[in-house]
Structure 1
Amino acid sequence: MQLFVDTAKLSEIREAMGWGVVDGITTNPSLLRAAVEGEGSRSLEEHVREICRLAGKGRPVSLEVMGLKAEEMVEEARILHRKFNPVARNVVIKIPVCTSTGEGGEEEGIKALRELARLRIPTNATLVMTPEQALLAAKAGARYVSPFAGRIDDLVRSRLGIPFGKYDYFDFSLLRRLAERRLEEIAGRGGGLGELYQDAEVRALADPGGNQGILSGVELVRSTVKILRYYRFRTKVIASSLRHPRQVREVAEAGADIATVPFQVLKAMLRHPKTEEGVRLFTQDAEKAGYRELFG
């Protein structure tokens, strides 16, 4: 599985690239604004050019459009690609899979993806919250689809009234076990299948969080991977909006092609208290044994 770093901070990109394990960069307007202001860049345009340069050829950099209509997104995509792709031939255009705010226009993102595929401008379908959206984006020719795992975890926990912090891990397997146990208790009371099927609590337990059967962000990624692989789409799945190292492991197990993570999560993937303890003990023992003589 490839790893992208989800940041626009040049300092983080330089350090992450220095590790030799990062395969690309994802950005969005919010990340870019914070980075430009925080790092005192001369201009947004120069900042974006430097991101592309630091990533280098062969490491995709996702840049997002602003428009909500297909023709606007296509024109903005052409401008971004023309302006920044020559830096390192690595620009990918992020297109929201659906730009509707509830008042129609659901198809605009898909239309833009299709036209950009025709123009051979690589795209990353972003804000994917369902496998159905990912399927449509793949059919439209998106090179990448980005299911937002963390946002789905937030949605499910909010609907269930579970308090959480942004970087808290969501143990969806525990939630499933609890729901199954509760269903067994209800079924044990007796009653016909039809009656149980219509029971409000049973219906709620069958779909905790009321999210079309998707219990977590990792399940969203797993379902997306399963569908796209089954039908042999070339579209790659970028597991996005990841906030915890354990999520990275789980999307890797789910078969995601890529995980894009904040730099702090990338660093957290290396940490473990027993690793730190082992380093301290080995260092102490090495000093006592005069181990440094071996390097003289």
Structure 2
Amino acid sequence: MAFPQQVRLVEVGPRDGLQNEPGAVISTAIKVELVERLADAGLRHIEAASFVSPKWVPQMADGAEVMARIDRRPGVIYSALTPNLKGLEAALAANVSEVAVFTAASDAFTQKNINCSIAESLERFAPLIERARDAGVPVRGYVSTVLGCPYAGEIAPVQVAGVCRDLYQLGCYEISLGDTIGVGTPLKAKRMLEAVAREVPVGNLAAHFHDTYGQALANLYAVVEEGIAVIDSSVSGLGGCPYAKGASGNVATEDVLYLLNGLGIDSGVDLDKLVATSCWISEQLGRTPASRVAQALGCS
């Protein structure tokens, strides 16, 4: 299959990237500026907040305020993670563009992560998706551990496919395939995608790969070659997984963009502005960018 002409980058840095940040709570002003800088760089799909219990994710406690203070640009989707109906209602009140729900391909992981089985998580999502649909808000589904689980080990591609099918049938317009602990390799990624594509059209799938073993870009190349045209990434490679030992951050958006530019695939994102944003947020967090591209181009 030929490469797609365009790829939509879903920027998850403001949510997935910052939610597990250790230390002091990041100010709302920094989060708002990050979202606005990302939009200015040309990103048109930004996961800006999470409406979860502040008890469990204190870094995301100001989701409503972040959404209220963003200077929203036409054509930009500002989405939020909503694990339950309470979170959905808060997100709807904050006028989000889109919401996301999350489960996994591993029962052991869902038990550790959200204290229920995969089947129970899907049961919880059914009324949430129906309510979102009634409100005219699209729902995106995340499936974690598609290429391996820290508790269950190898995950069969058919198992991933079944969960994706169920989410798609519930009404999620797009399913994001998450290599949560970054253990995947290109052939494994292709085989997983092949199984999932029998249940869900490739045009309704996205790749969300972490870079723990340095394989994320290779894995993305493999699935883009098979027709994936939506990639989740995080500016400066921010983020990780608190439930996965040793799991590093998401693949860096600027590294993905450099790859896409080299393949002649359009994303509408300005690399220089993105690198400047990577340098800026890294400075705010007191670290150097995890992105290889930002390191190579340097921060002035």
TM-score, with normalisation over the residues of structure 2?
Answer: 0.47
Higher alpha-carbon Rg: 1
Query: Greater share of helix residues, 1 or 2?
Result: 1
Higher RCO (CA 8 Å, separation ≥ 6 residues): 2
